[in-house]
Amino acid sequence: MLPAVPSTLSSKDQKEQAVKIIQRMWWTYIRKRLFKLLKQTIRAAEHCISYDILKRVSPLEAELLKEPTVQCKVRFRFAGSNFPPFVIFKIFCNSKGHGSQYITGKNVITSTSEAAVDACKLMGYRKYYNQMLQDELNYKKYGITDEMDVATIKDYMQYISHLDETPASFGGRHNYWRKLSLEDFPRTMIVYDIMDYAQSGKLSHRLKEELPFLLLRPPNEETYRAQLIAICRVRSPRACLTTTTLLRVDRKTAHKSTQRRSYQAREKIAKMRKSYRTERKKEEQKQAVLDLSYRSEPKSEHPGTPSLFQDEDWEQEAVKLYDWSRTLRTEDIGED
């Protein structure tokens, strides 16, 4: 129900006040609807697509969800000081009451042991001193950073939270709440459209069709499950463009681009095409005449430079000349 507008104001002020009230109520309705949609989304993410999201963020940690011996579960929550909130996640392991054992050098190596001296030599004095200073700063900031500081259940919960947020290089578990971006959600599901709508405020065509069903208050358990399945359902892939369709698109764009040209530009292009075709025809005719003349010329029996005798005739003449020169005598040459 809308609040009443004070009657003491003027008519113009009353109209402005009424517009502001209607606008405020409309934005309240939009935000409530968006929050309800986001709440349905993270519920569906925990039940169906936690592995798909974690695989995009950290593929190595995603393999923990498939490990039967380690029962891990991903939790999603809202965070942020402004609306709409952003989504964060964290991995939880269920040890079934046995407890989880983390191997860390901070608990194994004590300050009075020889291992601390060896660690100082391996790490170097600067890095070792930085480690000690960081531990002292964390203790002054949080107060409960070690098992010796735990006295109550509240202290224990604070100590566990501190371990999760502390990096592994300082003896923590490095399992803190991490922020999810739009690229971490699978595009093939409608959950991507919902997160895009929360960030940009634009409704996709598919989300418009599914929005009335997703915002419906489920009367029973079957309707609730159907809503979760609708959020996590993989959308059908679009038909890929074939080469024929691409050629048609190119032809259409080319036709449109030619229509946009001016009349003078089209006339100039037509003249250039005509001149190119005439030059090409002339070259083809010249080539045809040359081929025809080459074919009509009589081919000589012995191609190359003309000669009086073949190679065999020259050899026979050389043999005859050699035999005639052997029959000559020196006396006959002198008498001449």
Q: Which residue is it, tokens 């358990």?
A: 221
Query: Which pLDDT value is given to residue 252?
Result: 54
Q: How far apart are CA 78 and CA 299, in angstroms?
A: 95
Distances (CA, A) of 119 to 132, 137, 332: 13, 21, 120
What lies within 8 Å, CB to CB, of 73 at 6+ separation is: 46, 50, 65, 91, 92, 93, 94
Q: How far apart are CA 111 and CA 135, in angstroms?
A: 13
Mean pLDDT across 86-92: 88
Domain ranges of the chain: 1-98+175-235, 103-172
pLDDT 10s digits, 8-39 = 667 778 788 888 888 989 888 888 888 888 88
Query: Which pLDDT value is given to residue 112?
Result: 76
Q: How far apart are CA 287 and CA 252, in angstroms?
A: 38
**Stronger pLDDT, 72 or 248, i.e. the higher one:** 72
Exposure string over 4-39, b if 16+ CB within 10 A, otherwise e: eeeeeeeeeeeeeeeeeeeeeeeeeeeeeebeebbe
Q: Positive or negative CA dihedral for 4, 6, 7, 11?
A: negative
Strands (E), 59-129: 71-79, 86-94
Give yes or no for residue 307 having a pLDDT over 70: no
Query: Which pLDDT value is given to residue 332?
Result: 52
pLDDT 10s digits, 135-171 = 888 888 888 877 778 888 888 888 888 788 887 777 7
pLDDT band at 263 (very low <50, low <70, confident <90, very high): confident
Query: Which pLDDT value is given to residue 336?
Result: 45
Q: How far apart are CA 172 and CA 161, in angstroms?
A: 10
Give yes or no for residue 240 having a pLDDT over 80: no
Q: Which residue is it, tokens 């030619």?
A: 258
